[in-house]
């Protein structure tokens, strides 16, 4: 079991791209409100931008009209040039056909089109829309507020998924699968015994590891992804940002090991074993530890009798006797040193 904090996978500070007065706010543009991608959240007064767009469109129409007039002049010049085939030098033909004037007016038309597009873009930016499905965390403006580029309008978090960032001992990383590296991440079960109802849980997938240790705990940090964190279409409690949750990560299968209570593992990973009525101090190879158990790959065989009591004298070969004859199912037993 590890502890992890609930963090947003998507979070933005919403800011305007143009200046103006706020005319309208959407009814659900409030703290806690739910919005969908493309929903109109806020309308800035478009009057000035509409006026600029009209001016730019008029300038474009004038430039296009000038281009049509110049093309008419070019057509007449071409007819005159056909009558003077051998009297005009080739270098002067472009001047007679008014090609420099045509190029100049075409450039004016292109510039006018760019100004119209810019004016239309700024008009469109008076409408502030939700960039993704989100929940509003905070709002900093109201109807009548004067806003400018860079001002904070609101904070939004995406609601498609949240992250749970947990700290894990570095030695345990070998047993964890990451979806971004391995294709399929380890599954995890999340609990909050302090606030959730008994038996309530959420499920997550281990996505990746953050490439730096936690500076305070010196533990590795892993990111778990929770889909539909607000449980709109999922059974289970909704997640609240910044909550501390318990996470049980299902790691890679550990094969050919014996699970033993950690209380029965002593200094230098030794285990006390009773064999033929005598104490054997076994050195073991522990490949993994969790909160309650050690997983031993070498040094202990299934069915051997593990000493579970504290001994006054600990030395290889001392005599032992069982306190009771019926050993527990985990092959451990209570013993005492024989006189």
Tokens 């510039």 locate to 111
pLDDT per residue as tens digits for the range 154-176 = 999 999 999 999 999 898 888 89
Q: How confident is the model at residue 68 (pLDDT cuts 50, 70, 90)?
A: confident
Q: For 322-332, what is the mean pLDDT? A: 54
What whole-number distance in Å separates Cα of residue 176 and Cα of residue 250? 8
Predicted confidence (pLDDT) at residue 78 exceeds the cutoff of 80: no
pLDDT at 330: 44
Which is nearest to 12 in space by CA: 160, 138, 143? 138
pLDDT at 175: 85
What whole-number distance in Å separates Cα of residue 44 and Cα of residue 147? 8
pLDDT per residue as tens digits for the range 94-108 = 665 567 788 888 899
pLDDT at 134: 97
> Which of 55-59, 61-65, 247-251, 252-256 is least confident?
252-256
pLDDT at 85: 60
Q: For 264-278, what is the mean pLDDT? A: 92
Task: Decide which of 66 and 29 is more confident.
Answer: 29
What are 35-38's contacts with CB under 8 Å, separation 24+? 35/130, 35/133, 35/134, 35/135, 35/136, 35/156, 36/130, 36/133, 37/130, 37/131, 37/132, 37/133, 38/129, 38/130
Supply the mean pLDDT for the chain.
Answer: 88
pLDDT at 331: 45
pLDDT per residue as tens digits for the range 275-305 = 999 999 999 999 888 778 999 999 999 889 9
Q: How confident is the model at residue 195 (pLDDT cuts 50, 70, 90)?
A: very high
Q: Residue 268 carries which DSSP code? A: G
Q: How confident is the model at residue 184 (pLDDT cuts 50, 70, 90)?
A: confident
pLDDT at 328: 44
């Amino acid at each position: 079991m590890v502890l992890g904090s609930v963090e947003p996978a998507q979070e933005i500070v919403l800011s305007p791209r143009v200046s103006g007065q706020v005319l309208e706010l959407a009814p659900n543009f409030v703290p806690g409100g739910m919005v969908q991608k493309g929903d109109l959240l806020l309308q800035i007064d478009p009057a000035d931008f509409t006026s600029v767009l009209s001016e730019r469109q008029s300038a474009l129409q004038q430039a296009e009209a000038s281009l049509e007039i110049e093309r008419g002049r070019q057509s007449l010049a071409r007819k005159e040039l056909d009558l003077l085939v051998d009297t005009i030098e080739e270098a002067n033909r472009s001047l007679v056909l008014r090609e420099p004037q045509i190029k100049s007016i075409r450039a004016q038309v292109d510039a006018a089109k760019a100004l119209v597009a810019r004016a239309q873009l700024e008009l469109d930016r008076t409408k502030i829309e939700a960039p993704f499905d989100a929940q509003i965390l905070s709002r900093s403006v109201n109807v009548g507020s004067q806003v400018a580029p860079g001002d904070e309008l609101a904070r939004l978090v995406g609601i498609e998924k949240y992250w749970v960032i947990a700290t894990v001992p570095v030695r345990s990383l070998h047993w964890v699968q990451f979806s971004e590296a391995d294709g399929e991440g380890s599954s995890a079960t999340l609990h909050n015994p302090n606030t959730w109802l008994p038996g309530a849980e959420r499920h997550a997938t281990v996505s990746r590891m953050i490439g730096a240790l936690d500076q305070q705990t010196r533990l590795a940090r892993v990111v778990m992804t929770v889909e539909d964190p607000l449980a709109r279409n999922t059974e289970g409690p909704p997640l609240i940002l910044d909550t501390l949750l318990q996470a049980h990560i299902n790691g890679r299968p550990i094969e050919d090991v014996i699970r033993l209570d950690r209380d029965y593992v002593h200094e230098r990973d030794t285990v006390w074993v009773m064999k033929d009525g005598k104490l054997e101090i076994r050195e073991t190879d522990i490949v993994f530890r969790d909160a309650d158990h050690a997983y031993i790959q070498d040094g202990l065989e299934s069915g051997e009798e593990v000493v579970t009591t504290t001994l006054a004298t600990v030395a290889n070969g001392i005599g032992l006797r069982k306190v009771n004859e019926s050993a527990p199912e985990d092959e451990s037993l209570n013993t005492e040193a024989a006189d």
